[in-house]
Amino acid sequence: MDGERRLAVLRRKAWTFVETGKPEEALRLFDEAIALAPADAAVLCEKAEALARFGRLEEALACYERAAAQAPASAAIRVEVGKVLARLGRADEALAAFAAAEDLDPRHPGALGAHGNALAERGRFAEALSRFERLLEVLMRAYKKRVMNKMKIQEERLEEILQSAAGESPLATLRKLKELEKKEK
């Protein structure tokens, strides 16, 4: 089995053990995966998530921090660092981690939401509101983009149907349009 496939199998099996509440087996497999791909921050993050699920927060934090060192431009990893810090009761450090994530990617939904929540918990409501407003803007833009892409695809399909229906009866064209409508649902 090649390395990439072995890595995928190890990760999948590890998550099976996480889901069935078998931490030692899961962590052993994550360690094997990390040994196989030591520069893969995603594998470290998966182990950290598993550790956090098992309540081993200090170990999860250390794992996330290793991942952050490997992927210093990742806002998502900084958000996870902040979440673990918050669970550990280290609110100031969590707030700093969320701010760092936002600095890396000012439009990262996870960073905006987590930072806003942390600010609100500290009573800094105006700053929190600013994050939530930006989060709403980011989410609305993403939604609009998805809707516009879907409309473009539908428009292209409609044009294709109309072109293929040239010379056909209106009833045949209508049937094709109804088929398109069914596929869209």
**The three-state (H, E, C) secondary structure of 74-142, written as one string:** CHHHHHHHHHHHHHCCCHHHHHHHHHHHHHHCCCCHHHHHHHHHHHHHCCCHHHHHHHHHHHHHHHHHH
Q: Is residue 140 part of a domain?
A: no
pTM for this one?
Answer: 0.78
Q: What is the pLDDT of residues 154-175, one digit of tens each?
A: 777 777 777 777 777 777 777 7
**Mean per-residue pLDDT of the chain:** 91
- 80-94, 96-110, 125-139, 151-165, range with the lowest pLDDT: 151-165
Go through 28-52 and write b for each residue having 16 or more CB atoms within 10 A of its CB, e for each that does not: ebbebbbeebeebbbbbbbbbbbbb
The answer to whether residue 77 scores a pLDDT higher than 70 is yes
The answer to whether residue 39 scores a pLDDT higher than 70 is yes
Q: Is residue 67 part of a domain?
A: yes
Q: Is residue 45 part of a domain?
A: yes
Domain that holds residue 48: 1-72
Total number of domains constituting the chain = 1
Q: Is residue 60 part of a domain?
A: yes
Q: Is residue 87 part of a domain?
A: no
Q: Is residue 112 part of a domain?
A: no
Compute the average pLDDT of residues 68-86. Answer: 97
Q: Is residue 122 part of a domain?
A: no
Q: Is residue 21 part of a domain?
A: yes
CA distances to 37, 90, 174 from 113, in Å: 31, 18, 46
Helix (H, G, I), strand (E, B), or coil: what is residue 20?
Answer: coil
CATH number for the domain spanning 12: value is 1.25.40.10
The answer to whether residue 103 scores a pLDDT higher than 90 is yes
